[in-house]
Structure 1
């Protein structure tokens, strides 16, 4: 195996990173060992899927790669981007901690990172599949999709490519994956858009968000979530997010939006803190209320 060592800017809250990855891991396509601090998945590199095993520590990330792949160092940049390793978490924590409302969360998890997706199409279809269902249900649906239509590689499976997914009839996709018919149509519409060559590359954040909202079945929450997770924009907040609003004392959307203004220009990281406290706290360990 070839070993890469990646050094992040600032501290990393490894437990929250691993629990974030585990909460969204696609069965059959990803494996997460939270106690062992290890996550394994396929990344596309040099025209082929490569099995990548990432091990987390506070001061460095080690990446195990197959020896036979060309240019293994070429995977360093996409992995750094996926795991948000170039963001200065100490600086972000200091800025957010000036607000007494969120300071306890920042003090509890000062090394939170804005974990993204290695592939924008994966981010979009995973988000569409996960609309209005629990994380567990979303993982189940994505696991069915990968099992039925993914390609085996190195003991895991890839997701279907946009053109492959767009070619599956709605009735078949609805039956196999178990999504509602409306969600199935949205999934195939998104797949067709990417199959036609659409990409976020070279779009501004606002342009990407507007393009998402033009797609049927994509609403403000989905657009905000993808702006944050797929584009990894550091200053996005999703005022319609129910978890965040509950964490803010059952705030309305307008109230949540107003509260979040004081977290600029790091609203995405503040939202990650709210999610981590509500959804990624280890079993048996109480969260720290905002």
Structure 2
């Protein structure tokens, strides 16, 4: 249900970040990321978005904390904000913006890699921005397969508006992506009517229910291969989508795959095309940070 500004309850939070951290770099990435276009605001050096956590739709406004490495946040909701909701949204934002990521070893390895070191100079202090939640990325991975970006965004918007997680904060209208329980209420026929695609609706209908049985904490931290196998069991999730989910949804940096976009990014930075064997050799230099290496290549290459 939509909430109006007059009824808002407010809570302030502080989110520390590991140095080095440059919030301007995060905002720059978010502002240019087409999959999230229209969902988040980045004006006036602030990030505004809506999230759905602990059964509550919350508006969030984040700014760089003065004199400290981290962010100041203000939460707004149309109902009292419980400690459970504060804890859930704090964890979600920390993970989404990579605030706890320790880049020390990654940057040490980058200094040994001349072509890539120049990328790090440009992006110094940038912590990988993920999707706001891995569940949202699961749904997006299904919607965007073999679909033009505008069409995929239209389908996603239809799901968001059908659930109605809207909150008005001042002059800004914010929409939160549905949580698992909300999307699980839709029958497959209802999803077909919303997004206009039978196959994607079938994938969504089944994957949402299977996702509800998974433990996100285990997906973030459990053995890589076990997590990957669980993701590959989700309808509509293949090798590429699983890799997408692992890195950009779950922050799993241990492995990376060579696709067309990555191949172009490597060529831009290293000045030559590379085959699979050379790509793996370059990636292995970064060990458990190779996912960060790949993300920096795409963003800053």
TM range (shorter): 0.7 to 0.9
Q: Which string of whole-angstrom CA distances, capped at 9 and with x for unpartnered residues, describes residues 204-230 of structure 1? A: 332111111123321111111111122
Aligned-residue offset at 1:90 = 4.3
CA contact (8 A) 1:112 1:269 kept: no
SS of 2:115's equivalent in the other structure is: coil
Count of aligned pairs? 272
Worse-matched range after superposition: 204-213 or 69-78: 69-78
Unpaired runs of 5+ residues, structure 2, are 1-9, 268-272
Match of 1:38 in 2: 46
SS of 1:259's equivalent in the other structure is: helix
Is 1:70 matched with 2:82? Answer: yes
Match of 1:256 in 2: 279
Residues 183, 258 of structure 1: alpha-carbon distance in 2 compared, 3 angstrom cutoff: farther
Worse-matched range after superposition: 82-91 or 150-159: 150-159
Instruction: Find the aligned partners of 1:222 and 1:254 in 2 and give their Cα distance.
Output: 22
Is 1:245 matched with 2:263? Answer: yes
1:132-147 → structure 2 map (5 Å cutoff): 132-133=146-147, 137-147=151-161
Instruction: Find the aligned partners of 2:280 and 2:130 in 1 and give their Cα distance.
Output: 22
1:182-261 → structure 2 map (5 Å cutoff): 182-195=199-212, 197-202=213-218, 203-240=222-259, 242-249=260-267, 250-261=273-284
Unpaired runs of 5+ residues, structure 1, are 278-288
Alignment match of 1:25 (pick from 36, 40, 46): 36
Instruction: Find the aligned partners of 2:283 and 2:69 in 1 and give their Cα distance.
Output: 30
Aligned-residue offset at 1:252 = 4.4
Residues 112, 238 of structure 1: alpha-carbon distance in 2 compared, 3 angstrom cutoff: farther
SS of 1:66's equivalent in the other structure is: strand
Aligned-residue offset at 1:44 = 3.6
Instruction: Find the aligned partners of 1:134 and 1:258 in 2 and give their Cα distance.
Output: 33
CA contact (8 A) 2:49 2:176 kept: no
Residues 161, 59 of structure 1: alpha-carbon distance in 2 compared, 3 angstrom cutoff: closer
Match of 1:51 in 2: 59
Instruction: Find the aligned partners of 2:196 and 2:282 in 1 and give their Cα distance.
Output: 38
- Give TM-score, length-normalised by structure 1: 0.79
1:90-105 → structure 2 map (5 Å cutoff): 90-105=104-119
Aligned-residue offset at 1:107 = 1.3
Q: CA RMSD in A?
A: 2.9
